[in-house]
Amino acid sequence: MIIYMPIILENHSSTSLTLQPHQVLTILSTSPSPTNRSLNLHKMWKLHCMIICLMAACLLASSLNVSFTEVANATQRRAVCMDGSPAGYYYSAGSGDGAKNWLLFLMGGGWCDNVDDCQSKLNQSLGSSRSMPFTKFSDILSPDSQINPDFYNWNRIFVAYCDQSSFLGDTEFDGQGPKLQFRGSRIFDTVVDDLLAKGMGIGENAILSGISAGGLATILHCDGFRARLPDVGRVKCLSDGGFFFRGENVLNADYREKYFASVITLHNISSLLPVTCTERIDPSLCFFPENLVRDIQTPIFILDSAFDAYQVRLRLVPPLSDDRIRWDLCLGNISTCTSTDKQLITDFGGAFLKAVREISNNPTIGMFIHACLIHTVLIDGRFWTPNSTIKLGNLSIQEAFANWYFDREPVRLITTANFLEICTKKKML
């Protein structure tokens, strides 16, 4: 587990902790859902974040503390978080035979699709770097060769996510309320500049990876990242939980499309999206990887669930829908799902699997598509391990990715399940 940028829990702990959506969703998928309509999703989020923060304080094991590094000349280069504070990253230098290898990890944390939503994040790590003293590296960033045998001694970089645009916006909002800076693309570019100055451009191996919104950013930036490293022998990408699916023929596709269209408009992203997509279809559809991945030239590994917890919980049924309470109850306890609920879940998973199968013949693409009701795995110690309970073709996620990355064998593993699976313990408290 990575304990990312801090949420301060007054009078509870001296440790600064932050939790991300994939961790919250693990609890949400195994806990009773609210039956009181007045307890809205925002309140649920706060409650579960506090619960998980307290859990995380108990779970922290000794690992590498890594200090926050502001990007060079951040303000002058406008590489800033939404509140105007300098963007940055956490960097652990490689050693031994990993000294010339680089693993760049883009954190996730959703998006903001309207001004009020963005302004509400200005005092959080999702919108500011003002309280990012250090983080702990573990799982795919772990310095422990037993936990992370393939990458433990690489140069490992954790890029803080404080722009809410999947590292792609470049504009500002200066109207009612606090001013907002949307500078995701500048943040990404300046972080890469900093790492090139540290020697990444003359490395032997490099990986661009990310989870959730950072996984989508990995897809969007994959070819651009490769272009910045012309002299590096092996450059590949790894997107975890980033295949956000429109599912044209799945219920509420218009809701999913309108949400991303709002993000694209607010952050002025259209001109920064891949032209291979925007020349073919409306830019509002070019945040959906089903319309992007087939055009990527750089080898990329898609790691996702056909029943992704974030998407199933929050994108199949709109939050203000009359069906919302029933849907939350269903996902809190699958036995309570109606036949209509189960059919919607089945329809989504089936369409998702059809979409990934259509691109699976591309020789540059690797895949590990499972059926677990989880969101991401790269910084989840239960799954980023050779002993993971999630296996396809008798390979763990960690083993499958390493085999693909190091060209040991092609890896395109896709579940045959036609319904979601519960791969976590029933109770976490």
**Active site residues per annotation:** 212, 308, 375
Whole-number Cα distances in Å, 266 to 231, 306, 315, 419: 36, 29, 20, 36
Helices (H), strands (E): how many in the chain? 11, 14
Structure tokens at 57: 């304080």
Identify whether the C-beta of residue 301 lies closer than 8 Å to the C-beta of residue 236.
yes
Segments of 191-349 assigned E as strands: 205-211, 234-240, 300-305
Identify whether the C-beta of residue 273 lies closer than 8 Å to the C-beta of residue 291.
no
Please state, in angstroms and rounded to a whole number, the distance separating the CA atoms of residues 79 and 72.
Answer: 9
Please state, in angstroms and rounded to a whole number, the distance separating the CA atoms of residues 133 and 160.
Answer: 11
Identify whether the C-beta of residue 388 lies closer than 8 Å to the C-beta of residue 396.
yes
Q: What are phi and psi of 104, to 5 degrees?
A: -105, 125
Q: Which residues contact 293 (CB under 8 A, 6 or more apart)?
A: 219, 243, 300, 302, 359, 362, 365
Identify whether the C-beta of residue 55 lies closer than 8 Å to the C-beta of residue 37.
no
Q: What are phi and psi of 58, to 5 degrees?
A: -85, -25
